[in-house]
A and B are shown apart, each in its own frame.
Chain A
Amino acid sequence: MSPNVTNLNKDQKINMSGTTLLKESGPREVFCGLTSIVWLHRRMPDAFFLVVGSRTCAHLIQSAAGVMIFAEPRFGTAILEEKDLAGLADAHEELNRVVKDLLNRRPEIRTLFLVGSCPSEVIKLDLSRVAQQLTHAYKGRVQVLNYSGSGIETTFTQGEDGALSALVPLMPEENSNNQEQLLIVGTLANAVEDRLKTLFQRLGISNVASLPPRKSSELPSIGPKTKVLLAQPYLSNTARLLKDKGAEIVEAPFPLGVEGSELWMRAAGKAFNINESLLNKVLDPLIARGVKALEPYKEKLSGKKVFLLPESQLEIPLARFLHRECGMQLIEVGTPYLNREMMECELKLLPENTRVVEGQHVEKQLDRVKEENPDLVVCGMGLANPLEAENISTKWSIELVFSPIHGIDQASDLAELFARPLQRNELLDNKISSIN
């Protein structure tokens, strides 16, 4: 362990399942929960995400999206102005006016999410009340919901947890006509979702639904006949609410890599009492093919040192994949937030003494990066080029929430994402010595 790690808070150092869990606090460099709107609005084209916040919020989302808007987007910001801060009653009225304008302009919208931000939380704007009133006013036409994506409460992917949590109360309760269903929770690329559904059908699980659905107004039912399989590791609140509704949460690692995806599908199979031989029959050829497809990347990645900075909460499952399936050496696995219960299966699969750090002191963490000189750093967009400028290869963590990486068939694509920077490094003859 590098000397710098002794700066980490020892009191909170816990050994669990062989990993070393540490906590760090200080200045952070992570996106806030608003950022998840960037993929959520694409998943549900009949929904609109209206951030109630400041110009910073608007600027953040358009900057994080990294693209200019090609048409009228399905997200926007109701920017608070001085006069809105003066009186809350007026602010509520103003928000009603903005929503009315918006819905008149966009009659195709079925679900409107009012998304709380840092400033709206600090001035205690009651978005849930506004949402209720608006739902009543637009009865039958638009459902208005609210959640917080504020940076004082959420990081990055936690925004999706908030949005899905807001949908749970609207999910219809199961009735006697409902059959047992498998509910996949967490946004997946549409193509990946279709593929996974096909595979579950081969296993004999035909009743498969997704949250979020492709249409915000077509929510799956929920109740004791539902078994929930989490596709993303950052949905702890949503999982809790679904459990409260009577659903069973299937415990499994997350479907990243061949191994993770296999264990994930087997856990579902077990929950549905699918017999072992059918599971093997369906999965074994996929696994053999998946492992074979991984080989060229494994060759590139094996023995290389990787350092994961905290951002998406995908870090722990990714670290497990990079170590166990690609042979990478884990220097440090950062995560903005660690839910031990949700991560139990994953933590067990990490090698002894893996340094898992929850929270961040970005300066000290970057000191450790420089000390350890890893071959690859997984980090946020703001940090990547400064590391590249020191000839340290990087991978943007935001790419991992946009790319179709889940499932056995996608494992080699996932590995390729990490192998590409290293391969590029080998391809280029010249390296910079100093810039700026």
Chain B
Amino acid sequence: MELTLWTYEGPPHVGAMRIAASMEGIHYLLHAPQGDTYADLLFTMIERRGQRPPVTYTTFQARDLGGDTAELVKGHISEAVERFNPDALLVGESCTAELIQDQPGSLASGMGLNVPVISLELPAYSKKENWGAAETFYQLIRGLLQEKANDHSGHNPTAWKEQGRKPTVNLLGPSLLGFRCRDDILEIRKLLNENGIDVNVVAPLGATIADLKRIPKSDLNICLYPEVAESVCSWLERNFGMPFSKTVPIGVGATEDFIKEVRELLEMPQQKNESTDKSKLTWYSQSVDSNYLTGKRVFIFGDGTHAIAAARIAQKELGFEVVGLGTYSREMARPTRAAAEKLGLKALISNDYLEVESAIAEAAPELVLGTQMERHIAKRLGIPCAVISTPMHVQDVPARYSPQMGWEGANVIFDTWVHPLMMGLEEHLIGMFRHDFEFTDGHQSHLGHLGGQAHQEVVQPEKQSQDIDDLHDAEQSLPIWTSEGKEALAKIPFFVRGKVRRNTEKYARQAGCRNIDSETLYDAKAHFKA
């Protein structure tokens, strides 16, 4: 039994819904009690879909349990097939139905329906949403393509050359409730077209059953979101000999690597390296304005794909210092650990947001890159933050075009990550000028009046210095700040004040100082620089 106050991922059948709702012509029969229908709102409210997800819930009740629930399931299946006339029927169960073991998949298969039935077994008591999405996508592809596997074993990714046509690829993994998938597809399609590569099938988002059947006809698979598509890509590789690309093109460097990998797999000539200029991130990061970004301490947490990509961008493209890296996704624990190790860190693999919160507090970063939950954590801690990953929030489905992948994705990332820091800087300037006579009391920057995240993420300059007194009430063992020491601390820009305070106290304890004055502050500064 696990005590959970909030969860990053839903149950696995929600992952299955993501696949069903992403596609066209699919219906999902879900053996589940009433109440489980809440999942519809994830699509119709968070993602603002104008259609209900294609799901029929059996909504059985306690009084049905005494009778024949199998008949109830069959009744719902016939009715759903008649009403929705799908090209394929997914059949599965949620956590409660798993316990009563009606085996709706077998029931449906035995009904002689004139529609392909894909039975899903998604263990609700051990697995979670992303796993459910990956498994559903895999079962669907396997169910539709298995028979053809042997015909295609001699797959040749360079067939396009002999056939005198452009190479074609499939984009696998984008789904509803995935982070910016809608825009990533457009961006990657554009990127591939510039490289003379055509996109054959995009799946599951927007795909039909007929589209899935066309997958083996392409030269190469692109695994855009490993959380959803890696198992499918591996299966297609094993059974159809189709290779797949493994680089996720988020960030300038990763986008370059992605192009290289794809061209190599297709045996296309490599291009001269001129792509760095295609994103403004490279120049903006090099420009003198960005000097202040140097060594900014950043804490990263999210799904595996986006967290790992963010770590690379933060370190290699923006010159930040990554002080924490983690993921809630156990399936991505291994690559995340490897990425963290390279940075000299121990990865945080956790589904407990309170654990994430204390790790952030401990690391005392200047910027948090995380999910909506880390945004709230950062707000509480007074640290700027940008959102890089699911779980999805209505704010993560912006009306404007805002991919994460490719060149434009890198532009979006630069703006999204750097603006919260600039806002912090602006607040600092206000702090500096607040004693000028032009500065009327109570004035705030325009940010101060914003209702949105900008306002909430800006640190209140006064707050942290006041906290010192509170802190001493709580922990008597800490050295005491003299009023002169406090004054000196208050003059330090607020966005490094927390770190300076922490370091100075640490130094004072080590050095055995009982009182902290401005000299202790300078001593500590020199000590930590040395």
Contacts and interface: CB of A to CB of B under 8 A. Distances in A.
A381 interface: yes
B125 interface: yes
B124 A68 contact: no
A386 interface: yes
- Sorting the interface of chain A by its residue count into under 10, 10 to 19, 20 to 34 or 35 or more gives 35 or more
Contacts of B526: none
Nearest to A29: B37
B4 A76 contact: yes
Given A95-B1, A119-B96, A386-B51, A152 B11 contact: no
- Of the candidates A56, A64, A385, A434, the one having the most CB atoms from chain B within 10 angstroms of its own CB is A56
A382 B6 contact: no
A327 to B, nearest CB: 31
Nearest to A90: B1
Given A102-B3, A385-B44, A386-B52, A72 B62 contact: no
Contacts of B56: 27
Interface string B31-75: 001111111111011001111100011111110010000000000
Contact of A31 (B35, B83, B94, B124): B35
A149 to B, nearest CB: 9
A72 B34 CA distance: 28
A199 to B, nearest CB: 35
Interface in A148-166: 150-153, 155
A122 B3 contact: no
A71 B6 CA distance: 11
Given A151-B34, A382-B37, A73 B50 contact: no
A78 B3 contact: yes
A412 interface: no
A54 B65 contact: no
A97 B76 contact: no
B18 interface: no
A62 interface: yes
A298 B95 CA distance: 46
B65 A56 contact: no
A123 B5 contact: no
Nearest to A51: B4
Interface string B108-137: 000000000000000111101000000000
Contacts of B380: 70-71
A13 interface: no
Contact of A151 (B10, B33, B41, B124): B33
A94 B1 contact: yes
A32 B1 contact: no
A34 B1 contact: no
B528 to A, nearest CB: 33
A185 interface: no
Nearest to A361: B79
A93 B14 CA distance: 30
A154 to B, nearest CB: 8
A55 B96 contact: no
A152 B83 contact: no
B274 interface: no
Contacts of B40: 29, 381-383
B38 A155 contact: no
Contacts of A66: 45
Interface string A261-273: 0000000000000
Interface stretch (A16-24, A80-88, A242-250, A403-411): A80-88
B393 interface: yes
A77 interface: yes
Interface string B162-186: 0000000000000000000000000
A384 B5 CA distance: 28
A382 B41 contact: yes
Nearest to A99: B3
A76 B5 contact: yes
Contacts of B124: 54-56
Contacts of A73: 5-6
A221 to B, nearest CB: 34
A101 interface: yes
Given A27-B59, A56-B95, A121-B62, A69 B44 contact: no
A113 to B, nearest CB: 15
A153 B62 contact: yes
Contacts of A386: 44, 49-52
Given A54-B11, A119-B95, A152-B62, A27 B1 contact: no
B95 A60 contact: no
A98 interface: yes
Given A55-B95, A80-B125, A122-B96, A385 B1 contact: no
B61 A153 contact: yes
Interface string B350-372: 00011000000000000000001
B376 interface: yes
Interface in B6-23: 6-7, 9-11, 13-14
Contacts of A151: 33-36, 59, 96
A58 interface: yes
Given A380-B37, A383-B40, 17 more contacts: A27-B58, A28-B37, A32-B34, A56-B11, A66-B45, A69-B353, A79-B1, A81-B126, A85-B125, A91-B1, A98-B3, A151-B35, A151-B36, A382-B37, A384-B45, A386-B44, A388-B50
25 contacts: A26-B79, A27-B59, A28-B37, A54-B95, A55-B4, A55-B128, A56-B13, A59-B7, A71-B380, A72-B354, A73-B6, A78-B3, A79-B4, A81-B2, A85-B99, A85-B125, A122-B100, A151-B34, A152-B62, A152-B65, A363-B79, A363-B83, A384-B45, A385-B44, A435-B50
Give the top 4 A-B pairs by smallest Cβ distance, nearest first.
A32-B35, A151-B35, A389-B50, A382-B40
Interface of B: 1-7, 9-11, 13-14, 33-42, 44-45, 48-52, 56-62, 65, 76, 79, 83, 94-96, 99-100, 123-126, 128, 353-354, 372-373, 375-376, 380, 393
